[in-house]
Amino acid sequence: MSGYVYDRDTEAPLAGVLITVLGHPEWGGTLTRADGTYDFALNGQRYATLRYSLDGYVNSQRQIFVPALDYITAPDVAMVPVDGLTIDLTYGYLDAQFDEYMALNPATNMLEDISNVTTVQQAPENSAALGVQYDFEPFSFGALSARMDVSYKDEFVFHPFQNLYDSADDRTLVNGRLSLNEIKMGCCEKGALRVSLWCRSSPLVARAFGSSRLSNSAA
């Protein structure tokens, strides 16, 4: 079989991309040439999952059918560069005031317009969120992703006469996550494992969690 590999962003051919067959290390592998093309001899009359890997790029997989005693051309593969650092920043401002809000003042037992001191429920005036993520591949068996998210909300008072239940102080929440992605499973050709460790902080408690996920879908 033959094929062609290129950079998704620049559309330039990629040299030195290693192509192997997932689950069959005994079949060896091949490298793309300077023009991005490659040739690969495989056992035919079966489906094969080709794995494309190159430093600085996200590993790719393609499943193709290899006929017996025949020569085929595999679909072109566009490899995605590992962008490295990603930063997301959002800010929100909400002036959620009432035109009129009549409420009974328990101290005077009279109705008062409190629209100038109350807001729409659960609607802080200022809110912001910052997310920082770094993706890289320090290992040959998986990609590492580190992310930190910080969110902030203003204090708010919904009802000044019952602020014990309807008010909240300003708060900042911090979430951190460290994930090892695309860990190939030798037991199944289409499987990949992701292992994650994350922590969350709040004004009252800090917690740490861990999880793992096994996907079983063709890429």
Nearest Cα to 82, choosing from 109, 50, 115, 59?
59
pLDDT of 210 strictly over 70: no
Domains identified in the chain, total number: 2
Q: Do 24 and 106 share a domain, yes or no?
A: no
pLDDT of residue 205: 44
169-192 residue pLDDT tens: 888 888 888 888 777 666 666 666
pTM: 0.47
CB 181 within 8 A of CB 142: yes
Q: Where are the beta strands (DSSP E) in 70-125?
A: 77-79, 85-93, 102-105, 110-113
Model confidence band, residue 204 (pLDDT cutoffs 50, 70, 90): very low
Residue-range definition of the domain harbouring residue 43: 2-79
Q: Do 74 and 95 share a domain, yes or no?
A: no
pLDDT of 30 strictly over 80: yes
pLDDT of 197 strictly over 80: yes
Q: Do 74 and 104 share a domain, yes or no?
A: no
Q: Do 126 and 56 share a domain, yes or no?
A: no
Mean residue pLDDT of the chain comes to 79
Q: Do 207 and 172 share a domain, yes or no?
A: yes
Q: Do 104 and 71 share a domain, yes or no?
A: no
Q: Do 75 and 89 share a domain, yes or no?
A: no
Q: Do 72 and 98 share a domain, yes or no?
A: no
Q: Do 90 and 74 share a domain, yes or no?
A: no
Two tokens, residue 191: 């499987």
Give, for 63, the enclosing helix (H) or strand (E).
strand 60-66
Q: What is the Rg, in whole angstroms, of the alpha carbon atoms belonging to the chain?
A: 28
Instruction: Give SS3 for 165.
Output: helix
Q: Do 10 and 45 share a domain, yes or no?
A: yes
